[in-house]
Structure 1
């Protein structure tokens, strides 16, 4: 964070990835099917286990204010996740294309950080 806030030029030199294009890396190297299946299965299991937890909190809610707060935090968490997924689904990597402005910015950045030798 020190580089980002106090030495931003050095940060840009070290961490700028605009020289790379999506098309430079073959599609086969960008796909991780086993990891994707594992993460999808794990998140599905977690989402299914979320429901009984919410019901157990609902049953104890009348006894304590703490359970009421936990229940409403859980409801807000579920609504926010669903809303975020519906509003902004992730695009597939194969459909990602750069616009003309992005291409121009990439070329300008490439020229800016090119080694002067």
Structure 2
């Protein structure tokens, strides 16, 4: 029977290659982020608000009662906020409010 002499450097090299191979097997392929997301929200009265978020441009197109409005994303510490000169859309903890000036034109609050 013949015994092979292997240096500690060779063993270390083989272990390193094995670790690299095993770590490569566990990588996940991430899905690309969708640039546009569309959803429809209803309130208790059955009114609908259609939202088309554009993550690339930071804008949101809303359709309510036949009116279409384009709002731009605002920075907030919590929740979502889009606005333009006339409208303000906010979403916080699942509560949605669309205001035109000071008047609430849509809300899903109970």
With structure 1 as the length reference, what TM-score do the two structures score? 0.27
TM-score w.r.t. length of structure 2: 0.28
**Larger helix fraction of residues:** 1
Q: Which has the larger radius of gyration?
A: 2
Larger relative contact order (C-alpha < 8 A, sep ≥ 6)? 1
Q: As a proportion of its length, which structure holds more strand?
A: 2
